[in-house]
Amino acid sequence: MKRKEFLGLAAGAAACSLLHPGCKPRSARPGGPGETRVTVGLFELRLRHAWGLSRGTWTTRRNCFVRIERDGVVGMGEAAPIARYGETAESAAAFIEKASPVLQKDLFEYLDRWNEIEALGPGEHAAKSALDMALLDWVGKRHGLPLWKMFGLAAGKALTTSFSIGIDEVPVMQDKVREAADFGVYKIKVGTKDDRKILEGIRAVTDKPLLTDANEGWASREEALEMIDWMADLGVVLVEQPLPSTRLEDLGWIKERSRIPIFADESLIEASDIPRIAPYFHGINIKLMKCGGVQEAVRMAGMGRALGLKLMIGCMIESSLGISAAAALSPLFEIADLDGHLLVSNDPFRGVRTVKDQLVLSDEPGLGVEGGVWQ
Ligand code: MG
């Protein structure tokens, strides 16, 4: 990492002034025997291509990273804050600092620790996810177990991942598909007035199955159903979030008539949402950053399966740190859309590998991730 890329330091006065101007460095713990040293850093991930969704376009994403160290063992976690839910890298860092006292307790009791973190306040799911990852990374390393083994999963059942194509001019989107020739399935961002032109352009350069994600971008249920019907003929196999999140009755109307599965993304945040939205969708897209971490994602997968929903694990724009945590859970799911780190040109971590489109989990304990943004 180049020093200038590092936007915040928590281990000392610099970070503390980032979080609380003028204060003493209280977020840095001394790290003595039995104590947990907590360090936070903000880092700007640069995107290989501009990332376009129905609600905006980005060239960088600023994420927040936490490092905990106790008894000589390090645990790491990542927060990719979701602006739609009012989160920023700074709000994530502030929440992590607020949670530091919880990390001074017994880390092996990670179920209780997560409950205590959750009880600190509503929202800030990305920060909660970072803390959960760091806890599990630390515990996994102490037990000598990779994350997938801690949850009784088989690394050999890790999924292949789709590759996401953000909204752009059609020739640019076609180039992105050609660049990603190793992938067997593409997830195309739609929800614009140019959707037909976009999908015809994509279909002109690949005959592989396509997933689409409208990100709440279509206005009416009739318009959405007409598009979905047209897309089904084009070889689109799944549509994510065709209408705004709260329009559940209209989404249910689409579900009853659609020839291809309708998945919830924005309509769903955490486990308690699942029973309420289950009747209106065929499947759900679970993301660590959206739900608050690995433990909550495992609970959600169990609940979704019990309610007969198809299960997808997705991601935000994240480094290999966050994606490695999600990839370790992929054996629990039917579809993985875990390519956020592949869209980044300055990934400061190494973890899960992608061989063609196959996620290959590490045998190393914890998240199996190396690297860092902390100085
Ligand atoms: Mg989505």
Residues with CB under 5 A from ligand 1 (ion): 213, 240, 265
Q: How confident is the model at residue 316 (pLDDT cuts 50, 70, 90)?
A: very high
* Mean pLDDT along residues 323-329: 98
CA of 325 to the centre of ligand 1 (A): 19
* Mean pLDDT along residues 193-210: 96
- In the chain, CATH 3.20.20.120 covers 150-371
Q: Which residues contact 177 (CB under 8 A, 6 or more apart)?
A: 165, 186, 202, 205, 206
User: What pLDDT is recorded for position 50?
Assistant: 83
Domain 150-371 architecture? Alpha-Beta Barrel (3.20)
User: What pLDDT is recorded for position 31?
Assistant: 54
Q: Which residues contact 355 (CB under 8 A, 6 or more apart)?
A: none
Distance CA 126, CA 120 (A): 14
CATH domain 4-144 topology:
Enolase-like; domain 1 (3.30.390)
* Mean pLDDT along residues 356-362: 97
User: What pLDDT is recorded for position 54?
Assistant: 73
CA of 124 to the centre of ligand 1 (A): 19
CA distances from residue 113 to 14, 127, 131, 308 in whole angstroms, order as listed: 28, 14, 10, 30
In the predicted structure, residue 30 carries a pLDDT above the cut 70: no
Nearest to 247 by CA among 214, 280, 274: 280
Q: How far is CA 161 from the centre of its chain?
A: 13
CA of 48 to the centre of ligand 1 (A): 19
User: What pLDDT is recorded for position 11?
Assistant: 34
Q: Is the distance from CB of 183 to CB of 209 less than 8 angstroms?
A: no
Residue-wise pLDDT for 262-285, tens only, equals: 999 999 999 999 999 999 999 999
CA of 316 to the centre of ligand 1 (A): 9
CA of 212 to the centre of ligand 1 (A): 9
* Mean pLDDT along residues 129-146: 98
Across the chain, mean pLDDT equals 91
CA of 222 to the centre of ligand 1 (A): 20
Q: How confident is the model at residue 32 (pLDDT cuts 50, 70, 90)?
A: low
In the predicted structure, residue 41 carries a pLDDT above the cut 80: yes
What is residue 128's three-state secondary structure?
helix
Q: How confident is the model at residue 5 (pLDDT cuts 50, 70, 90)?
A: very low
CA of 260 to the centre of ligand 1 (A): 16
CA of 286 to the centre of ligand 1 (A): 10
Q: How confident is the model at residue 58 (pLDDT cuts 50, 70, 90)?
A: confident
CA of 252 to the centre of ligand 1 (A): 18
CA of 94 to the centre of ligand 1 (A): 27
In the predicted structure, residue 8 carries a pLDDT above the cut 50: no
- In the chain, CATH 3.30.390.10 covers 4-144
Q: pTM score, two decimals?
A: 0.90
Residue-wise pLDDT for 85-115, tens only, equals: 999 999 999 999 999 999 999 999 999 999 9
CA of 239 to the centre of ligand 1 (A): 9
Q: How far is CA 153 from the centre of its chain?
A: 20
User: What pLDDT is recorded for position 52?
Assistant: 77
Distance CA 33, CA 235 (A): 59
CA of 83 to the centre of ligand 1 (A): 14
Distance CA 247, CA 119 (A): 29
CA distances from residue 321 to 92, 227, 358 in whole angstroms, order as listed: 16, 36, 17
| Alpha helices, DSSP H, located in 191-293 | 195-205, 221-233, 248-257, 274-277, 288-291
Distance CA 268, CA 112 (A): 24
Distance CA 290, CA 315 (A): 9
